[in-house]
Amino acid sequence: MNKPVEIATLTGAQAVVEMLKAHRVEVVFGLCGDTSLPLYDALRAGSLKHILTRDERHAAYMADGYARLSGKVGVCEGPSGGGATYILPGLVEANESSIPVLAINTDVSVSSRGKFTLTELDQRALMRPLTKWNAVIDRSTDIPRTMRKAFEAMTTGRPGAAHIALPFDVQNGPVDQQDVYADPTHGSFPSRRVAPDPFFVELAAKLLRKAKSPLFICGGGVVLAGAEAELRVLARAIGAPVATTISGKGSIDERDPSAVGVVGSNGGTPETRALVQAADLIIFVGCRAGSVTTERWRYPAPGQARILHIDVDPAVPGTNYKVDVPLVGDAKLCLAALHDALEGYSRPSDLSAVERQKKAKFERFGALARSGESPIKPERVVAELDAALPEDAIVVADPGTPCPYFSAYYVVKGTGRRYFSNRAHGALGYALAASIGAHIARPQVKTVAVMGDGSFGMCVGELETVVRLNLPITFVVIANAVYGWIKAGQRAGYGKRYFSVDFGVTDHAKVASAFGVRSWRVTDPRELSAVLRSALGHGGPTLVDIVCQPLHEAQAPVSEWVA
């Protein structure tokens, strides 16, 4: 008699863990809850590393930072109800920044729905408008295919975030082990590169040949696609300077003579704007040409230049500018195809305007950076950190003073992800948690998070996580006891009618040391260099609290406050 075939059965929770592993996930960031007990039991037994966080928002930011540096999907988890509403901000940022982050929130049992069950909420409806893809799993047998779909959605086309709600009873239901398989290439991004239509490549090549003063504006898509080498080759061939958005920093080594730096209203300067204005062809690459990059669609001015717009998302070219040629596809493949289509054509480059404008920008910056005034000028902080950090360091900048100043003046040396900020929503309090994820993805290099004191107040709890894990990250707090960026807006646009933007002074070094972080408070600019070097060289977590000139009194490197 034939023996009956034995079908190995996993629980739903075990299947979730196995599906993550099948997609080559190694680490999960998250926070426990009642509805997550089966999942935690499976995580305990599995080989995934779990980083316990102190807030689900930060779990998602950690997954985001991890994904940006590892090139893999970042995974975070939290419980039902508040766990879902708290994880949401991180998911939104990742989605809008085209970063693949998977959030799993456990949920009340399917059988408990609609009975005023504690923490019940409609996670499907909550997450739908904010993610690229989302699902509530109602049956345990649906777990494997739902997770395959989530990974595919996150890493193909424009990358984005996905959300899965996992009810309590589904975690305990059966899953056939044979169903638990994955295409591991969907665990990294971009997992499928889309080549451009050769017809549009030819049109674009014609445009490039005709241009007299082309200029690239590269967004985050270049770094996401790993297209830095193709960009360099094409930029050399057509003699074009390369400007970037904040997320595009790392598209080009900023010491390169053709590198313009960041353009736009948050990190751009009059000099970078002048270079945009001088172009007769703008080549946007992996860039949405949004309000910040274009200073509300004014630079380039509509009609000023011809536009070649390269993006993996067909909805992007043509949205904000009348585009002469749209080129839809992966940035790496598009830039390579364009270079091939030029068939050896090359234009001698004249980078003298770039050199002149950069010199003017950095001379102005240098004069302020050398200032011995107290409170310390933000320029001095940027210059001292720039000088003290190794070339391969990772810098994560929060909104407020850090983002515009570091975007404008911190020189990224080398290509790839070395500097980032949460540019989709610019929510305060991102950098600390994102730097944890970044460090876990790339532990061999130094990671620094720079934040305002407004941001510090929104993320300080995660210092416990940093200390528990003994992560050698350096946190820099630009302390000025004010929501400075907004106060600067009140100065610039509202006749200095300051209102409800000042808060009290905190000794952030003392707060950090109470968590167990080695910390310093600096008020004298002459001490800054030595303190930063001690902090960067220390083997554990460090924090440097720098009493700084508030932004509304400083010369912010922005042309205008725009919304």
Ligand X SMILES: Cc1ncc(C[n+]2csc(CCOP(=O)(O)OP(=O)(O)O)c2C)c(N)n1
Residues in the chain: 563
Closest to ligand X by CB, 200 vs 405, is 405
Query: Whole-number minimum distance, CB 552 to ligand X, in Å?
Result: 9
Residues 529-558 that bind ligand X (CB under 6 A): 551
Query: Whole-number minimum distance, CB 430 to ligand X, in Å?
Result: 9
- One of 30, 219, 268, 399 touching ligand X (CB under 6 A): 399
* Cα–Cα distance for residue pair 62/286, rounded to 1 Å: 24
Query: Whole-number minimum distance, CB 545 to ligand X, in Å?
Result: 12
Query: Whole-number minimum distance, CB 68 to ligand X, in Å?
Result: 19
Residues 179-238 that bind ligand X (CB under 6 A): none
Closest to ligand X by CB, 78 vs 454, is 454
Alpha helices by DSSP H, 416-507 = 431-441, 453-459, 463-469, 484-493
Q: Considering the rule CB under 6 A, would residue 455 count as an interface residue with ligand X?
A: yes
Closest to ligand X by CB, 32 vs 482, is 482
Query: Whole-number minimum distance, CB 485 to ligand X, in Å?
Result: 4
Closest to ligand X by CB, 428 vs 535, is 428
Contact predicate 112/80, CB 8 Å: no
**Residue 96, helix vs strand vs coil:** helix
Distances (CA, A) of 333 to 196, 224, 269, 292, 422: 7, 13, 31, 27, 26
Distances (CA, A) of 42 to 20, 76, 81, 102, 554: 12, 15, 21, 18, 53
Query: Whole-number minimum distance, CB 172 to ligand X, in Å?
Result: 37
Letter for the amino acid at 501?
Answer: V
* Cα–Cα distance for residue pair 430/389, rounded to 1 Å: 21
Query: Whole-number minimum distance, CB 471 to ligand X, in Å?
Result: 22
Q: Are strands 9-11 and 174-176 parallel, antiparallel or unpaired?
A: antiparallel
Tell me how many residues contact ligand X (CB under 6 A). 18
Q: Are strands 474-479 and 447-452 parallel, antiparallel or unpaired?
A: parallel
Q: Are strands 306-311 and 281-285 parallel, antiparallel or unpaired?
A: parallel
Closest to ligand X by CB, 106 vs 480, is 480
Closest to ligand X by CB, 238 vs 460, is 460
Query: Whole-number minimum distance, CB 57 to ligand X, in Å?
Result: 10
Residues 144-173 that bind ligand X (CB under 6 A): none
Tokens 């009348």 sit on residue: 322
Distances (CA, A) of 517 to 8, 148, 509, 510, 520: 48, 40, 8, 9, 10
Sign of CA dihedral 261, 267, 271, 273: positive
Residues 417-446 that bind ligand X (CB under 6 A): 426-428
Closest to ligand X by CB, 190 vs 489, is 489
- One of 452, 525, 541, 557 touching ligand X (CB under 6 A): 452
**Residue 419, helix vs strand vs coil:** strand
Query: Whole-number minimum distance, CB 186 to ligand X, in Å?
Result: 32
Closest to ligand X by CB, 399 vs 525, is 399
- One of 95, 247, 401, 447 touching ligand X (CB under 6 A): 401
Contact code string over 464-483 relative to ligand X, x by CB under 6 A:
--------------x-x-xx
Segment contacting ligand X by CB under 6 A, of 67-75, 116-124, 285-293, 394-402: 394-402
Closest to ligand X by CB, 13 vs 433, is 433
Segment contacting ligand X by CB under 6 A, of 94-102, 132-140, 172-180, 397-405: 397-405
Residues 482-521 that bind ligand X (CB under 6 A): 482-486
Distances (CA, A) of 141 to 137, 158, 167, 354, 462: 9, 29, 13, 59, 36
| Residue 366: other Cβ atoms inside 10 A | 12
Query: Whole-number minimum distance, CB 563 to ligand X, in Å?
Result: 11
Closest listed residue to residue 552, CA positions, set 486, 508, 506, 502: 486
Segment contacting ligand X by CB under 6 A, of 5-13, 96-104, 262-270, 398-406: 398-406
Name residues whose C-beta falls within 8 Å of residue 44's C-beta, 6 or more positions apart in sequence. none
Q: What is the CA radius of gyration of the chain?
A: 24
Closest to ligand X by CB, 61 vs 189, is 61
Query: Whole-number minimum distance, CB 183 to ligand X, in Å?
Result: 37
* Cα–Cα distance for residue pair 208/198, rounded to 1 Å: 15
The alpha carbon of 528 is separated from its chain's Cα centroid by a whole number of angstroms, namely 28
Query: Whole-number minimum distance, CB 81 to ligand X, in Å?
Result: 21
Closest to ligand X by CB, 181 vs 503, is 503
Closest to ligand X by CB, 74 vs 90, is 90
Query: Whole-number minimum distance, CB 501 to ligand X, in Å?
Result: 8
Tokens 């730096």 sit on residue: 261
Name residues whose C-beta falls within 8 Å of residue 339's C-beta, 6 or more positions apart in sequence. 230, 233, 234, 237
Query: Whole-number minimum distance, CB 293 to ligand X, in Å?
Result: 17
- One of 226, 248, 400, 437 touching ligand X (CB under 6 A): 400
Closest to ligand X by CB, 160 vs 399, is 399
Q: Tell me the sheet residues that pair with 543.
A: 475, 519
Element (H, E) at 174: strand 174-176
Closest to ligand X by CB, 151 vs 419, is 419
Residue ranges binding ligand X (CB under 6 A): 399-401, 426-428, 452-455, 478, 480, 482-486, 551
